Structure 1
Amino acid sequence: MNLAALQQLNQASVLVVGDVMLDRYWHGDTGRISPEAPVPVVKVSALEDKAGGAANVAKNIAHLDGKVGLLGLIGEDDNGKTLEAILKQDNIASSLVSVIECPTIAKMRVISRHQQVVRLDLEEPFQLSHSQLLLARLKQEIDNYDFVLFSDYNKGALSAISEMIAVAKAAGKTVLIDPKNSDLSLYQGADFITPNLNEFKLAGGDASSEDALTSSARKLLKTAGIGAMLLTRSEQGMSLITATQKHDFPAQVQEVSDVTGAGDTVIATLTTMLGAGMPAKDAVEVANIAAGIAVSKLGAATVSPEELSRKLGQYLRETGEHYQTPFEEVLKHISFAKQNGETIVFTNGCFDILHAGHVRYLAQAKAMGDRLVVGLNNDESIARLKGPERPINPLQERAMVLSALASVDWVIPFGSIEENDTPAKLIEMISPDILVKGGDYKVEDIAGAGHVLNQGGKVEVLPFLDGCSTSNVIKKAQLQKS
């Protein structure tokens, strides 16, 4: 597997079209049964709104650093406005068409002690005339993207999907479909289709044996005029089937927390990896790993490039390749992590020659939260602070070594004369929950400490490991050389 594509995720350009919806969660504790009926009483303590359906597919692509646009139908209501606000926060270029006749599709769930108590669905099916409005918008947007992904939840937004596919193929786009209709001929012309096992059977597939599955899948593809099928098979993993080949991928062994949205993660990851230049077989393998990560989380969850690179560790060790979050994407990734409620820890330094003291210090910092951000002095800053002979190692090499540590999630450079070579401005941009500094410092003397404390965060000072310093390493090297 060529993992160079992980460094090119922002090259993926995908337009998602389909049934968008708002997923709303009421969280609370249950302590008694209602006197009005034999049902639990949930005392709501938190409300959470998330992008659902095709909007969740787009969110998955955005969180993988892909360029993504979204077309869908909403009502002229507050739920539609809420969904648009969520999409804007996730850097998704949404172009949602509002119709007065139908409400925004909303699925409202009551959750208590990590269990779903009840789900309430607010929806009315969209009509063909509404789908034609979406088709017109597709014609306007399609030239801005390389891939078109249709996310079909059978709510009516894709009633005109045959015409939509024809438009996409005429424009030379690669088309992927997450289907809901059992008549696969509606998806004629698609390059990839991703049914689950139940949808495959409803479409006429035979899963009685591997041979029957393969032959029936190929027959369906040929009859419907579709290029390839990625069949998701639950605990049996996935199968990529074409007219001439079949590749099986075993399910990733994970503690399953919630399968909600796993199909969205699969097709979103597949499309993003294809858009980044990864061959289909490798893209499916990564999508399979992403699905395993997603089902280990509660609710419709997304997967980050960092999580994928960790799970792909065996390949990284074999090839020597390593994923490093591009500097320009780090702030966006931190924002996504905050949305997920993760605790952000920040520390900074030159880290010119990494030694045991650094490794222990960074591990201690990471243990204080969920994600560790390392602010790294740029080369000019180090030269001003340490002298013209420093740094020994340039910025990109220092960043690569740091990002390879299990304790480090993100590395981002800083250092300007205007900021006195401190990370104060960067800390204000990140607003970490915890600011960590190594050495013998007073909190009031630490750059950025005031901002973090004013935001309700904490500042921690950690001692360095005795005898470990970059200067000592350099002196030892010089003595040995002489």
Structure 2
Amino acid sequence: MSHEMILDAVKALKGHKVMIIGDLMLDHYLIGGVERISPEAPVPVVQVKDESYLLGGAGNVARNIADLGGKPLLIGAVGTDRNGEVLEDLCGQAGLSTRLIQDGDRPTTVKTRIIAHNQQVVRVDQERVGPLSPAEMDTLFVILEENLPDYPVIILSDYGKGFISREFMDRFMPMVQGRSTPPLVLVDPKTVNYDLYQGVDLLTPNTKEASEGANLPVSDRESIIEAGRAIFRRLGCRNLLITLGPDGMALFEGQDSIRHIPTFARKVFDVTGAGDTVIATTALALAAGMDLLTACTLANYAAGVVVAQVGAATATPDDLEETVNELPEPQVTFWQE
């Protein structure tokens, strides 16, 4: 795959539409320093010097698509609380179109990370896990019916908070598969929900998630292939992309066509959000009409950009073009048993 082809693909991302459905959360950071131990307990006292909020979960996926030049529609649930207001404001700042269901019985999911001297001291989660109520589920499917015709690709961003549930999937998959031109359905999986993803177009687990989904250890090429085929047997999905961290990606287009895409990361500081970047870039490229290999190759470049930054970062078209121009052409190879 030549540099020219990849650069043309980057330019082609602009303006295409992707729907993101899933667990929304607010990433809250308290950053400071430690100069003493608490007299109340043997724990550090963090003197907070900075505070920030970022979109997390499905919101970070949507932000990745927007920053690449796409047009995401973000569908999720927030609480009727101050954190929900902050999350909605962040969506507006990021230029995201949203259809958010307000749930007065469920707080907005917040993950507070307390960081001192560039090291996380503790994380505090505020959340309530569970499916939407029947009334909220009905509202969700009215929203989906109204918007599905405009979106050729859908991401299910599952963080195990309950938005992607058995009740949801039992209604969702027949609805999309019953359309004359069904949208592609891509899933970033949560291990506990694997059996919900029957028949999706693309699953994007990392090595750990693939191992857990296949109930097999994954350590080398042979075990990756074996785990991938076990996932196909379990779910009947059409394609599978296993992200391998510093070893790149394994792309299964069916059980017997397996290609390895090498990593494009020049340096790795933080893998936070890399999975969001991979599925976001892949989905946007597919919405632009690219083949799956090209889409995943672009996603690998984008992941290489974000892991070189600290925190849940995103990649822009300029970032991708710079990375493509600086690195040699990717050597994609077929994996045989």
* TM-score for the superposition, normalised by structure 1: 0.62
Does residue 239 (structure 1) correspond to residue 250 (structure 2)? The answer is yes
Q: Which of 182, 200, 203 lines up with 1:193 in the alignment?
A: 203
Deviation digits for residues 298-348 of structure 1, max 9, x if unmatched?
A: 111111111111111157999xxxxxxxxxxxxxxxxxxxxxxxxxxxxxx
Contact between 1:6 and 1:276, CA under 8 Å: does it hold in 2?
Answer: no
Q: Which of 292, 295, 300 lines up with 2:312 in the alignment?
A: 300
State, as a whole percentage, how many aligned pairs show the same letter.
38
Q: What pairs with 1:276-315 in structure 2 (closer than 5 Å)?
A: 276-313=288-325
Question: Hey, what's the Cα distance between the residues in 1 that align with 2:174 and 2:309?
Answer: 37
Code of the aligned partner of 2:209: E
Does residue 175 (structure 1) correspond to residue 185 (structure 2)? The answer is yes
Number of the residue aligned with 2:278? 266
Find the structure with the greater CA-based Rg.
1
Does residue 101 (structure 1) correspond to residue 105 (structure 2)? The answer is yes
Contact between 2:33 and 2:46, CA under 8 Å: does it hold in 1?
Answer: yes
Does residue 55 (structure 1) correspond to residue 34 (structure 2)? The answer is no
Per the TM alignment, residue 241 of structure 1 is displaced from its structure 2 partner at its CA by: 0.8
Question: Hey, what's the Cα distance between the residues in 2 that align with 1:62 and 1:162?
Answer: 29
Q: Which of 211, 235, 239 lines up with 1:224 in the alignment?
A: 235
Q: Which of 257, 270, 282 lines up with 2:269 in the alignment?
A: 257
Question: Hey, what's the Cα distance between the residues in 1 that align with 2:240 and 2:192?
Answer: 14
Contact between 2:210 and 2:227, CA under 8 Å: does it hold in 1?
Answer: no
Code of the aligned partner of 2:145: K
Deviation digits for residues 375-405 of structure 1, max 9, x if unmatched?
A: xxxxxxxxxxxxxxxxxxxxxxxxxxxxxxx
Q: Which runs of 4+ in 1 moved over 6 A?
A: 315-318
Contact between 1:269 and 1:286, CA under 8 Å: does it hold in 2?
Answer: yes
Per the TM alignment, residue 189 of structure 1 is displaced from its structure 2 partner at its CA by: 2.6
Per the TM alignment, residue 205 of structure 1 is displaced from its structure 2 partner at its CA by: 5.0
Question: Hey, what's the Cα distance between the residues in 1 that align with 2:204 and 2:92?
Answer: 27
* TM-score for the superposition, normalised by structure 2: 0.88
Contact between 2:81 and 2:107, CA under 8 Å: does it hold in 1?
Answer: yes
Number of the residue aligned with 2:334? none
Per the TM alignment, residue 31 of structure 1 is displaced from its structure 2 partner at its CA by: 2.0
Count matched residues.
318
Number of the residue aligned with 2:161? 155
For residue 148 of structure 1, give the secondary structure of its aligned residue in structure 2: strand
Deviation digits for residues 410-435 of structure 1, max 9, x if unmatched?
A: xxxxxxxxxxxxxxxxxxxxxxxxxx
Contact between 1:162 and 1:188, CA under 8 Å: does it hold in 2?
Answer: no
Number of the residue aligned with 2:30? 26
Q: What pairs with 1:316-335 in structure 2 (closer than 5 Å)?
A: none
Question: Hey, what's the Cα distance between the residues in 1 that align with 2:301 and 2:267?
Answer: 13
Higher mean displacement: 210-219 or 240-249:
210-219
Unaligned runs of 5+ in 2: 331-337
For residue 299 of structure 1, give the secondary structure of its aligned residue in structure 2: coil
Does residue 117 (structure 1) correspond to residue 121 (structure 2)? The answer is yes
Code of the aligned partner of 2:147: E
Shift of the 109–317 alpha-carbon distance from structure 1 to 2, 3 Å rule, reads closer
Supply the RMSD in Å over aligned alpha carbons.
2.1
Code of the aligned partner of 1:170: G
Question: Hey, what's the Cα distance between the residues in 1 that align with 2:233 and 2:269?
Answer: 37
